[in-house]
Amino acid sequence: VKANSHAIITDATHLLTNVDGFSISLFTILALGWEATPHYSCRFSRLEVLGVVLSVQLILLIFGVLFYQAIDRILPKNSKVNGENMFTMASFGFFINLTMLT
């Protein structure tokens, strides 16, 4: 946000949706192991579908916000990007990915 770079914001939200998807998946796997009760007779198996719906809705919400920001940047009131700050953040992300590779 400080760099005012749409590319950095898009990459960060991409990673956020990945973490969200993994977290929802892990929770639904955990919930599938719960036993049925008299009140919940279907063993929580529908939580998988609800988890997918929640994850997709979050992705669509983030897409909408990013699409709005992209259109706003195309308009004539375009703002400046802080290149030095953007390069620093991109380099940091590159080295983190390189570290994860090894």
Per-residue pLDDT of the chain (102 residues; tens, 9 = 90+): 677 777 788 888 888 888 888 898 898 888 887 777 777 666 677 778 888 898 899 999 999 998 988 888 887 776 777 788 888 888 888 888 888 887
Q: What's the Rg (C-alpha) of the chain?
A: 19
Q: Where are the domains of the chain?
A: 1-36, 44-101
Long-range interactions of 86-95: CB distance < 8 A, separation 24+: 86/3, 86/5, 86/7, 86/8, 89/3, 89/5, 89/8, 90/7, 90/8, 93/11
Secondary structure class of 24 (helix, strand, coil): helix
4: left (phi over 0), alpha (psi -120 to 50) or beta: left
Tell if the pTM clears 0.85, that is, is over it.
no
Give the per-residue pLDDT at 78. Answer: 63
Give the per-residue pLDDT at 57. Answer: 92
